[in-house]
Structure 1
């Protein structure tokens, strides 16, 4: 590769070039979706190295996902840059904590628990709190929020009340504060820490030990932070300790893609960057290279029609692609027909030559995936659910990697890397042609084929067998998976940072988009941004859809999302949603505090039908004790319904609308 720095700049557009040349001082890059932000910041690092301004090992680039960090490393390597650390916040902090812990504390660091559920359940039991699996999950999310927000148990009640944050799972703020204390006690007794503790402990060590802080700051002198709109107070605290009093920081983000505030992420640090660094260089990337003008126009209009658009600066994207197909807007009679209709469309475009890996179905909640899994299987289309089993955790992939490591040690010199890899993968069960069978056999082949394609790509870059195996091992450590040739099913949150040629956005009705749990203006605004993220994942073809009713109900009650009502170009359901709380028959009302027998019977009957439709036991839908509580309390508002002990957010999303309709029919207690 040529050493001429100008070659780095020649590959960029004017705005990206401005980013690459801003090598010193605080820099804030406001980068819209599809504008090439990763290209800009990796070329900035490469330009700094090529001009001699940067020592590669002095640069730490941090982002939020292992995939994004892996993409950075690949691009930097392609640009001839070695030695730059590109990691997630947690990976960078964990490496430093593991290095300094023996010196500062002594001995190895505590074991990290991957999942909080077991410890949360123990903490709840110590307090005598009833908590089933769903409740434990809601409580674990609240524990995580408090820690990334740096809100202690002592401050939790005051902090949560101040921002109007409801306590989860029907508990009050005081009880949650007690749970936070109990959670920390259980961890301490077990001698374990969680992922948030990695950041807390490292930040504390750097804050308290000037010798350790000096060593880290001598190593890392320049920082790049991607997706800065999603930085939490805890991550900002660690970043501040890394920086000290220095100013060599480049942050990149888009306020319009702030979608993780429920986890403690906040755009405050991005939006106030210019106030913190008065002389900061601010650069806007608005040239969209991902999506057609039709898709970009839809995305821009979605944001500009928001009444709260003054809250965040909006980047008006400008598509750089040729004109394409109009955005398609489709209405289906019910959820099952929506899943079937989209699956049939997908089968047709695959038959026309579109690769399955270039297609995605996106939805608001994970519970929506099942219908699409069944419908795609029915038309013979393979799929992968993003957020399911990790690629490198698959047994067949692990076995193939072990065999490749063995081949790297023992392959004869006269065997080419490509031949050695092919021999290993054929032994593992791969073939050059896909099997006709669907199901597990096809999934296994697709996983091994993804390994094959990745190794071929690395071989074409001139890497030898040992280097290819080393790259695979590095990707496995960081969960930087290759692309499998299957249709992707993903929630809108899981789709962040990805892109596909054809995108189907499903379930875009009121109650799902925005989700009914979004009760505040801030929450509704974030739902709009979540939809914006979904729209901007599409490159060539975007299909928006919703169904008029839940499958099996026979009701036409749903309306198109309020966000899309002014933008919808296709037919829509114009029927009026039945008014809740109205009953055609007079129902005898029990006295306050007594269980309404008829309501309980109807709720129990509804539960049995729901369980049968989803092939689960009745008690797995909702315990009978919760049905009794609902029949006794008869919550009059959605907030009260969700807050009922044993309901919680996850259950409310899955079946809350149906149960709440039944309760409202009987009137409040």
Structure 2
């Protein structure tokens, strides 16, 4: 058997779905042709009343529109369980789910979570649930590592392949030929080619400038064969398998009447096939998006599927509630240079805003206190480099993708608790019991007397709100070694951290102690911030060789990525000078 036995399921090799089957993809292709040609099959004619396309530039309230519309249908008498509302971004999913629930609860229309089970979900997660796939059967980065080790494949940043079916698409790290082989696995299926051999010429035409040395068709086909065998023998599914399986089984949410598909500009042919199958049983469907924010073309997404989709009604949202005038004007010049723009009645927010070009801002001078700041990069590699730089500078930040920030670690919360004690404030015995219960925070063998954890747990059970001050620590079982470091203020030396992380936290704490617990600087890729908004956007225009090649072969796609970055900001944008010799011309 290929791979490690620890990942094998009891019924390995008995999964009935043919992951690489052309039959399911051919079935979907027929649905897609019907959708794009404007034809309606007989069942659809009997049921569906109307398909609506909603188009809106950045900040015009597309997701808010969908939330209000979902609530309107439920108020009109539709069962929440008959409404399917999907999106691709984590922020969109959270907003739809929470805001719809808040509206319905305020009017007494929602009693339990199960009633709105299909609202605020990704298409992948719904397919996974419909097919009854357990989470342990989902291919993740540990399985990929096992697979790569078995055949000595070199896959970059395997942790980036952690699958969160209720999260969003993730941009990928493409450095080695093996990375591109794995990338092709999803790409050919999302593009709905019946066979991978038929997809190969188009793949080469699109990506040939970026392919590393050693990329070879014969090796690619061998990779596909091995990858499929590994999944079969270990009973595993990847994300594209969810979609192909749903098409093959005609899996559809029972009783669906209304379908909402937010961020529809990022639909691939495969994803669209699934939604078309669902809407054939619904009364109404809404596809909501912005073709100029279609930034997942490299994953098989096609903005034309939304822009050219036949529909009975189209709604245009034209006033941005986010983008200020200066940023809007900069964005307009960018898009027009690449042959893109919106309707003439698209208007900015009624604030001036600002756009500044220059070197990396002085973080002490940048008015980040009380502001949300996004530091955005084109690729994961660039985000990791900046993460390293921010760590060396001692700048407090959090990471969406790229180099993880030590501030993302749970241990930092422990410092906040100890700092409160050091200042003479009281905390609860429950907080102290939780602090020592997790030995990953403070090494009990070094700093606690025998029986201290049990004693605090017992006291917390008796009176969880009992106050604790720094004078109570010896009595609770903290030894002299702990008290010495605590008294000297060496709080970070008490935690289980490597030396680099500890030094960073000490520097950040000394410089920014007043805001350490309120950090609003986020570092990551532009794709990671899709659907989010900030006060200040810091944009790194640097390109890697792959993205520089993309600027030559697909200039509009690259323009859309940086358009998405620019339009995250509510107040202003800092555009940095390129440092690598290859930069996007913002």
TM-score (norm 1): 0.57
Pair 1:368–1:162, CA change in 2 (3 A): closer
1:328 pairs with 2:362: no
SS in 1 for 2:288: strand
Other-structure match for 2:376: 362
Structure 2 CA distance, aligned partners of 1:298 and 1:513?
26
- In the alignment, what sits opposite 2:530? 496
1:224 pairs with one of 231, 254, 260: 260
Note closer, same or farther for the CA distance 1:390–1:384 as it changes in structure 2 (3 Å cut).
closer
Superposed CA RMSD: 4.5
- Over residues 368-419 of structure 1, what are the superposed CA-to-partner deviations in whole Å (9 max), with x where a residue is unaligned? 235533543455420122125699995559999x969xxxxx9999999xx9
> For 1:606-621, what aligned pairs fall within 5 Å after superposition?
none
State the distance in 2 between where 1:390 and 1:95 align: 33
Which of 561, 564, 569 is the equivalent residue of 1:538? 569
Match of 2:299 in 1: 263
Within 2, Cα distance between the matches of 1:119 and 1:151?
28
Give the structure, 1 or 2, with the largest relative contact order (CA under 8 Å, sep 6 or more): 2
In 1, Cα distance between equivalents of 2:95 and 2:405: 17
Who is 1:238 aligned against?
A: 274
Q: Distance in 2 between matches of 1:73 and 1:484?
A: 26
Q: 1:537 to 1:436 in 2, by over 3 A?
A: farther
**Per the alignment, in what secondary structure is the counterpart of residue 290 of structure 1?**
coil
Report whether the alignment pairs 1:181 with 2:225.
yes
Contact kept in structure 2, 1:435 and 1:442, CA below 8 Å = no
Q: 1:5-32: per-residue Cα shift (whole Å, max 9, x none)?
A: xxxxxxxxxxxxxxxxxx9721111011
Are the equivalent residues in 1 in contact too, given 2:357–2:574 (CA < 8 A)? Answer: yes
Structure 2, unpaired ranges of 5+: 1-47, 157-175, 415-430, 436-458, 468-472, 477-488, 493-499, 509-516
Partner residue of 2:125?
A: 91
1:30 paired residue among 41, 55, 64 = 55
The TM-score with structure 2 as length reference comes to 0.64
For the residue of structure 1 that corresponds to 2:101, the secondary structure is helix
Q: Distance in 1 between matches of 2:286 and 2:406?
A: 32
**2:357 corresponds to 1:287:** no
Deviations 1:66-112 (A, max 9, x none): 332112111112212533321112222222221xx7xxxxxx78711
Cα distance, 1:535–1:124 mapped onto 2, change above 3 Å = same
1:439 and 1:365 map into 2 onto residues whose CA distance is 24
Per the alignment, do residues 484 and 119 of structure 1 end up closer, same or farther by CA in structure 2, a change over 3 Å counting?
A: farther
- Taking a change above 3 Å as real, the CA distance of residues 224 and 48 of structure 1, as seen in their structure-2 partners, is same
Q: How does 1:410-489 map to 2 (within 5 A)?
A: 439=501, 485-489=519-523
For 2:391 and 2:183, how far apart are their aligned partners in 1?
33
1:163-222 per-residue CA deviation (whole Å, 9 max, x = no partner) reads: 623465432334323322231122112222222212222221126xxxxx5xx342x221
2:364 alignment partner, one of 347, 352, 360: 347
Which residue of the partner structure matches residue 385 of structure 1? 399
Distance 2:154 2:395 in 1: 39
Distance in 1, matches of 2:196 and 2:405, equals 34
- Who is 2:80 aligned against? 56
Alpha-carbon contact 2:265-2:289 (below 8 Å) kept: yes
Query: 2:60·2:318 contact (CA, 8 Å) conserved in 1?
Result: yes
Asked if 1:73 is matched to 2:100, the reply is: no
Structure-2 residue corresponding to 1:19: none
Q: Offset at 1:145?
A: 1.4
Name 2:386's counterpart in structure 1. 372
The residue that corresponds to 2:183 in the other structure is 141
Tell me the distance in 1 between the aligned counterparts of 2:138 and 2:364.
44
- Separation in structure 1 between the aligned mates of residue 257 and residue 150 of structure 2, nearest angstrom: 41
Compared CA separation, residues 317 and 300, structure 1 to 2 (3 A): farther
Alignment of 1:171 onto 2:215: yes
Check whether the contact 1:217–1:244 (CA below 8 A) recurs between aligned residues. no
Query: In 1, Cα distance between the equivalents of 2:181 and 2:154?
Result: 9
Distance 1:156 1:78 in 2: 46
> Which range moved further: 162-171 or 142-151?
162-171
Give how far 1:316 is off.
5.8
**Matched residue, 2:197:** 157
Cα offset for 1:157? Answer: 2.7
Q: What whole-Å deviation, never above 9, does each CA across 1:328-350 have from its counterpart, x for those lacking one?
A: 122xxxxxxx4xx42x1x32134
Q: 1:507 to 1:243 in 2, by over 3 A?
A: closer
Change (3 A) 1:411 1:236: farther
Secondary structure in 2 aligned to 1:26? Answer: strand
* 273, 281, 289: which one aligns with 1:253: 289
- Would the aligned equivalents of 1:359 and 1:487 in 2 still touch at CA under 8 Å? yes
Q: Is the 8 A contact 1:33 1:536 kept in 2?
A: yes
Matching residue of 2:541: 507
| Kept after mapping to 1: 8 A contact 2:190/2:271 | yes
Cα distance, 1:486 vs. partner?
3.7
Alpha-carbon distance change, 234 to 435 in structure 1, aligned in 2, over 3 angstroms: farther
**Deviation for aligned residue 1:261:** 0.8
Structure-to-structure mapping, 1:507-526, within 5 angstroms: 507-508=541-542, 515-518=547-550, 521=553, 523-526=554-557
Q: Which of 539, 553, 559 lines up with 1:528 in the alignment?
A: 559
What is the CA–CA distance in structure 2 between the aligned matches of 1:289 and 1:144, rounded to whole Å? 36
> Equivalent residue of 1:361, what SS?
strand
Retained in 1: the 8 A contact 2:320–2:349?
yes
Number of residues of Structure 1 aligned to a counterpart in Structure 2: 442
Structure-2 separation of matches of 1:379 and 1:165: 39
Seen in structure 2, the aligned counterparts of structure 1 residues 261 and 92 have a Cα distance that, compared at 3 Å, is same
**Residues 39/109 of structure 1: CA separation in 2 closer, same or farther (3 Å cut):** closer
1:120–1:140 CA contact under 8 A, matched in 2? no
- Measure the CA separation in 2 of the matches of 1:287 and 1:175: 51
SS of the counterpart of 1:304?
A: helix
- CA, structure 1 residues 288+40, in 2 after alignment: closer, same or farther (shift >3 Å)? same
